[in-house]
Structure 1
């Protein structure tokens, strides 16, 4: 209990956004489209940022994660191209019951400490 997971970090650039969203023009890939919605810059998509949390959980728990793990998160701030983000987690609870479930507190933060995602991951017994 309280064990920190190995963090996953990346600097996100506009090219990565275009690749992730398959080149579709929208406010996650195109500055003009984002400006039409009142943003000053492309908004990095939530699906893209949350993938780093998934990667961290996969690296830590492997099959336990991708064979039935659940994730419940809230997006708390915008990520912009050029931001360096880090997915972090800490084991919050490991049940001693026969079910052997694990709860992990997860979050993502920018280099300046701004938290962009908070939530919990749940894993069943191996």
Structure 2
């Protein structure tokens, strides 16, 4: 995951639809990102009919990666988020560790799906 954006990079990529990095049909729009004091990003994710995300993890070099996904619009069928060990989950809200838990989204079959996704990395505490 790329966390650091210069002001110029941010202005040229924010609020524009881009293809998702999994290459499986979803689109993402960067809303806000920062690298200090806590590294975070926020995206609007659009899953048109036929889009899906295969099982994967999102490793980070240092720290613990957290992600909060809020389903703004569910598809008529499919488009289900799959994660064996979420930290918190309801029908529309998913909080999980994408670096520690394999996760995926099933194929969207009916309509489209929109998700607000907020991610952040916390440094590991000294033991």
Higher strand share: 2
State the TM-score, normalizing by the size of structure 1.
0.29
Higher helix share: 1
Structure (1 or 2) with the larger CA radius of gyration: 1
State the TM-score, normalizing by the size of structure 2.
0.28
